[in-house]
Amino acid sequence: MSKVLIIFIDGVGIGENDPEKNIFFKRKFKFLVEVFNDVPHLDNQFISNNDKYIFPTDACLGVDDLPQSGTGQTSIFCGINAPKTIGFHFGPYPHSSLIPFVKEMNIFKTLIDLNKKVVFANAYPKIFFDYIDSGKKRLSVTSLSCLLSGVPLKNENDLKEGIALSAEIDNSRWVTKLNYDLPIINPQLAAERLFKLAAKHDFTLFEYFYTDHIGHFRIKDVADEILTTFDEFLFYILTNIPDEITLLICSDHGNIEDMSAKMHTRNPSLTISAGKHSKKLSEEIKDITQIKDSLIGLIN
């Protein structure tokens, strides 16, 4: 058995070897260049270094058009072919017909039913809880899974106590956009806090969505700063994994790897496994529907 940590990064695929399009070739990301000594691309999709593996994962799932977050994340966290189930890719939130699957098959519920300890590391601001209290239900697969499974959603107090992470890792958007009185922390401290959470739980999930936002050109003004923090965070994570933890970094569809367009791509999703059992995951996972069962097999 192993403790599992997922870092879910929205909208990251394996793209072309073209710095004009592919941000991973334009920027020298430490978590790739210094950890793997290479950058994955469509002609070089499998890279390994020691107990760390980069590999492609199919997000199209045999369905035409561009993959979307609602169906992609349902496929990851529920272990079903969501776009095939409803006949099309759909997002950013899960289609109404997928809600029963999210309720009964999400990875949190499955593990709770197996008497495992689970935690969702992201903290949410008051405005989010006000949104839920208003009766509105347009929620991401991750937050909806928690609400339907009784997994507590973390808040400002958890962030202050260091037992949660902000979506942008360092609290900066909470401070500058939401006017919270919080310290801006460095990526290393954020990573250490995530490891502490993972050490106390069988399954830990942290969701990062700014990669998708940057791919859609939504936050151009702070994209460089955000990506630097993201890179430093993943670099520290990958170079300091505790012995008892299996790490999986995964995504729901491509986007940011092709900055020539604002849309998603049909490129394979970037997937990274590291630490305990990382080779097994790199060999088992071929498409995003296989992620859930592969991880549960390690935990149970």
Nearest alpha-carbon partner for 16 in 288, 265, 297, 291 = 265
- Encoding tokens for residue 84? 């095939």
Q: Which domain holds residue 130?
A: 3-299
| pLDDT 10s digits, 134-152 | 987 789 999 999 999 999 9
pLDDT at 100: 98
* pTM check: above 0.95: yes
Q: Which stretches of the chain drop beneath a pLDDT of 70?
A: none
pLDDT at 167: 97
pLDDT at 300: 87
Kindly tell me the sign of the dihedral angle through the C-alpha atoms of 257, 258, 264, 269: negative
- Encoding tokens for residue 107? 């990875």
Q: What is the CATH number of the domain that holds 45?
A: 3.40.720.10
- Encoding tokens for residue 226? 């955000």
In terms of Cβ atoms closer than 10 Å to its own Cβ (0-12, 13-18, 19+), residue 131 is: middle
Number of domains in the chain: 1
Q: Where are the alpha helices (DSSP H) in the chain?
A: 23-26, 30-33, 69-78, 82-86, 99-105, 107-113, 126-133, 141-149, 156-161, 172-178, 187-199, 210-215, 223-239, 278-284, 291-299
| pLDDT 10s digits, 85-118 | 999 999 999 999 999 999 999 999 999 999 999 9
How would you list the strands of the sheet with 245-250, edge to edge? 47-49, 52-57, 269-275, 245-250, 3-9, 203-208, 118-120
